[in-house]
A and B are shown apart, each in its own frame.
Chain A
Amino acid sequence: MFSIPHPGDFESLKVIVNEIKKIKKYDKRARKERFEIYLGFSEFIGTGRATLHKPNFEELEEQIRYAKKNNLRMEVVINASCLGGTHLTANGISYINWIFNQLKNIGVECVALSDPYLVDLAKNNDLDVNVSCIALVDCLDKALFWDEKEVYAITLDSSINRHFDIIQEIKDNVNCKLKILVNEACLYKCPMRTQHFNFFSHANAQNIPALDDYYYNKCINLRIKNKELIIKSPFIRPEDLAHYEKMIDIFKISGRSHPIGWIKRVLLAYLKRKWDGNLMELLDCPRELQHFFYLDNKILNSAIKKWKTCNKRCSGCNFCKDLAEKALKVKN
């Protein structure tokens, strides 16, 4: 199954649906594929990404009806990494319960959450839960904690995308589905990940007039200074999905705040499992770097073999550094 980013407005949903219909007409593999769509819902609780459109319940209901009619599963993302304690107040509990109840009533099947308390409330409201990547599930113990809550799926922390041993161990020991972000391309083990998600969570829910996104700017600067970080970021090439198929149930495409033309391009590449050219054009997090770097996808063809057995002790290995030298060029 593929999980597709949806910026939140009806027009974007129609573009996505039309694109899926078109692909299914000429692509045999896509015909057999199942799809789900996810969108942010930042009202009060917030989400961990920028939300450019906030549909109200009425609009959301209309979109869900349209998605179901087109055989698409719809997931609502409410995955703030920080709620500032408001969720544990009497008003907060009532309000969140009310929101979950409303979502259930308008036909939402699944919510993506990162807070265990919210998971319990959602389950009480008969909603399926996908554990968000913001819960940072990067080992078996964390996965078991969520699996015991009988969640629908766990989205793994992208930092373990190339730790095949850990993913396999989780797969062997949980009952729920496993989801993996294929193109997020954040820094490997990013030291600013929690703070960045916290910033977005509050900025989204409370409209904080922040002057700048420090973490994003820092992230871009680090990559310009040290391009090896781009290779080390745990993206999965379209061609490499096959290596994950036995362990992973849902391939999630990241990028719900990007233009719909970009979302369409990325979806097509991953569905076809093929991309010729600049791989940067598929990567979410440093999208602006697609104009600066050319990452030759062909040169990365066999890298997955190394990454599958890599012990992640980078100080004793120059594989990613050498690969960056070969595959990553500054565009003219």
Chain B
Amino acid sequence: MSIKEKILEGREDIEKFFIKIIGREIFVPELDVFSSRCGCVGIMITVRGLFTDDVEIFQKQLVKKLEDLAKSFDINADWIFIRTLPGSDDVINIGVRELCNLCKEEYSYKKPRPDLISLKF
């Protein structure tokens, strides 16, 4: 499978996964596979309609799903996190990241920044 097909499939797959486990419409408008200048590589998923309560309930399944997704891109899921809209329970991004040493130092906390919640670190 080409990288392009894999990314397309990954986005669709994660959207279907959410709809199935949560039981309502969740929109995944974008899935990005990225590399950073620092040396981190990862996946960033934009989500709409997901809330922190949903993540809390299905955390175990979600982490497993994201680990598998990362593995399919040959990425180690060192850090899995969600980003919320400041002051709200709306989840707007889900990140999976193979961390460089500097980012490991900065982000390896349960809540490294008030808008980030680590599901695995």
Residues of A in contact with B (beta carbons under 8 Å apart): 7-9, 11-12, 15, 50-54, 257-262, 265, 281, 288, 290-292, 331
Give min CB distance, B36 to chain A, whole Å.
7
A9 with B114, Cβ < 8 A, contacts A53-B86, A53-B87, A259-B107 known: yes
B37 at the interface (CB under 8 A from A): yes
Asked if A261 contacts B107 (CB within 8 A), the reply is yes
B102 at the interface (CB under 8 A from A): yes
Give min CB distance, B46 to chain A, whole Å.
15
Complex Cα distance A54/B86, Å? 7
Asked if B102 contacts A259 (CB within 8 A), the reply is no
Nearest-CB residue, chain A, relative to B109: A260
Nearest-CB residue, chain A, relative to B83: A52
Can you list 15 residue pairs at the A/B interface with Cβ under 8 Å? A8-B114, A9-B114, A12-B111, A12-B114, A15-B109, A51-B86, A53-B115, A261-B105, A261-B107, A261-B112, A265-B105, A265-B106, A281-B102, A291-B36, A292-B37
Instruction: Collect the chain A residues with CB atoms within 8 Å of residue B112's CB.
Output: 259-261
Interface of B is mostly: loop
Asked if A259 contacts B113 (CB within 8 A), the reply is yes
Instruction: Collect the chain B residues with CB atoms within 8 Å of residue A265's CB.
Output: 105-106
Nearest-CB residue, chain A, relative to B37: A291
- Choose one: A257, A281, A290; the contact of B113 (CB below 8 Å): A257
B72 at the interface (CB under 8 A from A): no
Instruction: Collect the chain B residues with CB atoms within 8 Å of residue A257's CB.
Output: 113
Q: Per-position contact with A for B84-114: 1 when CB-CB < 8 Å, else 0?
A: 0011000000000000001001111111111
Residues of B in contact with A (beta carbons under 8 Å apart): 36-38, 86-87, 102, 105-116
Complex Cα distance A137/B104, Å? 38
Complex Cα distance A52/B113, Å? 8
Nearest-CB residue, chain A, relative to B86: A52
Instruction: Collect the chain B residues with CB atoms within 8 Å of residue A260's CB.
Output: 109, 111-113
- Choose one: A259, A281, A290; the contact of B116 (CB below 8 Å): A259
Asked if B37 contacts A7 (CB within 8 A), the reply is no
Instruction: Collect the chain B residues with CB atoms within 8 Å of residue A54's CB.
Output: 86-87
Asked if A262 contacts B111 (CB within 8 A), the reply is no
Give min CB distance, A304 to chain B, whole Å.
26
Asked if B37 contacts A11 (CB within 8 A), the reply is no
Complex Cα distance A52/B112, Å? 11
Instruction: Collect the chain B residues with CB atoms within 8 Å of residue A258's CB.
Output: 106, 113
Nearest-CB residue, chain B, relative to A39: B114
Instruction: Collect the chain A residues with CB atoms within 8 Å of residue B102's CB.
Output: 281, 290-291
Instruction: Collect the chain B residues with CB atoms within 8 Å of residue A262's CB.
Output: 105-106
